[in-house]
Amino acid sequence: MKKIIIIEDDLQLIGIYKHEFQKNGFTVIHSETGFDLVGLIKENQPDAVLLDLLVPGIRGLELLAQLQKEGLTEKYPVITYSALATKMVAGKSKKLGAKLHIGKSDYTSQEIVKKVLGVIKGK
C-alpha cells in the first residue's frame, strides 16, 4: 500500500488531507511537530512527505536540511507548503531538496493533494 507522511499542526486540515489521500489509496502517517520525521521516514519508507514549514517547535526548513543531510530527500519526495508562498522560501526549499513548494493560501486542500499526487506519479 502507498504511504504518505504529513507534518501538519492544523487538525482540521489533516482531517481533509487524510480523507483525500485515503480516497487515493494511501495510508496516512501524521505528526503535528515533525520532531520524529527522520525516524518516521526510515521506519515507514513513504511514497512522499508533505511538510508544513510552519509547525510548532522546529522550523520546516531546518527539518528539510536534516532530511537532505541524511540523504532522505533524494529517496523520498518531499513537498513543502506553508502560508509563506514567497519565491525566496520556494527557492530555499528546492535548494534543500524539496520537489515542490506550495503556497497554502494559493490552493484548496483538494488542489494541494492533486499536486502532491502529481509529484508522486512523476518520481
The rounded distance, in Å, linking the Cα atoms of 82 and 105 is: 8
- What's residue 85's pLDDT? 65
The rounded distance, in Å, linking the Cα atoms of 59 and 31 is: 14
- What's residue 123's pLDDT? 59
Residues whose CB is less than 8 angstroms from the CB of residue 102 and which lie 6 or more positions away in sequence, other chains included: 79, 80, 81, 85, 112, 115
The rounded distance, in Å, linking the Cα atoms of 120 and 54 is: 23
Phi, psi for 57 (deg, rounded to 5): 95, -35
**CATH assignment of the domain containing 108:** 3.40.50.2300
- Other C-beta atoms lying within 10 Å of the C-beta of residue 108: 9
Whether residue 15 is predicted with pLDDT greater than 80 in this model: the reply is yes
Query: What is the count of structural domains for the chain?
Result: 1
Indicate whether this model's pTM tops 0.85.
Answer: yes
**DSSP-assigned beta bridge partners for residue 5:** 29, 49
Q: What is the pLDDT of residues 55-79, one digit of tens each?
A: 887 888 999 999 999 999 999 999 9
**Average pLDDT, rounded, for the chain:** 92
> What SS3 state is found at 85?
coil
Show the cell assigned to 22.
Answer: 485515503
Domain range for 11: 2-122
Whether residue 84 is predicted with pLDDT greater than 80 in this model: the reply is no
